[in-house]
């Protein structure tokens, strides 16, 4: 076992411990806000609303780091999220529906997209075929008149 492996496992344990402490603090602040809402006589006073909002903001601050860590590790599924550029590249690399075309088909755009990586915009979405055609035309060397 090398020094880097020992340090790496120590960092993983440290990160896990800090995430657990943050989650316990977040749950504690949410519980404090709930106790304030349940056991206060008149909830809609300035003091009760202030205490509840401060507790919820602190709970949010403590919950953000563990949630971002889980998202970074890929263990936190995010509902309604569109596919990222990496997933699009993986799908396009497999050939997708274009791989099912016969080799003699006369679809030039599909053939060029199979030989080159897919063209994506700034948000990771595939660009339309007309834009791909324009980009391919710009890539071709221009002939000089002379």
The domain spans of the chain are 3-73, 85-96+105-139
Which pair of structure tokens corresponds to residue 2?
A: 């090398």
Give the pLDDT confidence score for residue 3 in this predicted structure. Answer: 55
More confident residue, 106 or 78: 78
Q: Tell me the mean pLDDT in the region 41-56.
A: 93
Q: Any residues with CB less than 8 A from the CB of 65 and at least 6 apart, and which?
A: 18, 19, 22
Q: Tell me the mean pLDDT in the region 74-88.
A: 72
Give the pLDDT confidence score for residue 146 in this predicted structure. Answer: 58
State pLDDT tens for residues 125-134.
888 888 888 8
Q: Tell me the mean pLDDT in the region 20-45.
A: 95
pLDDT band at 141 (very low <50, low <70, confident <90, very high): confident
Q: Residue 124, exposed/middle/buried by CB under 10 A (0-12, 13-18, 19+)?
A: middle
This prediction's pTM: 0.52
Helix (H, G, I), strand (E, B) or coil at 22: helix
Tell whether the model's pLDDT for residue 111 goes beyond 50.
Answer: no
């Amino acid at each position: 076992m090398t020094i880097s492996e020992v340090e790496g496992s120590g960092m993983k344990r440290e990160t896990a411990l800090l995430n657990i402490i943050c989650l316990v603090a977040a749950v504690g602040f949410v519980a404090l806000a709930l106790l304030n809402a349940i056991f206060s006589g008149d909830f809609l006073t300035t003091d009760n609303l202030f205490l509840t909002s401060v507790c919820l903001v602190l709970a949010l601050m403590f919950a953000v780091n563990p949630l971002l860590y889980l998202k970074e590790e890929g263990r936190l599924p995010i509902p309604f999220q569109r596919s990222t550029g990496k997933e699009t590249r993986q799908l396009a690399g497999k050939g997708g529906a274009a791989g099912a075309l016969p080799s003699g088909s006369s679809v030039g755009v599909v053939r060029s997209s199979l030989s080159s990586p897919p063209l994506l915009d700034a948000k990771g979405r595939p660009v339309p075929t007309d834009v791909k055609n324009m980009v391919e035309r710009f890539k071709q060397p221009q002939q000089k008149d002379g």
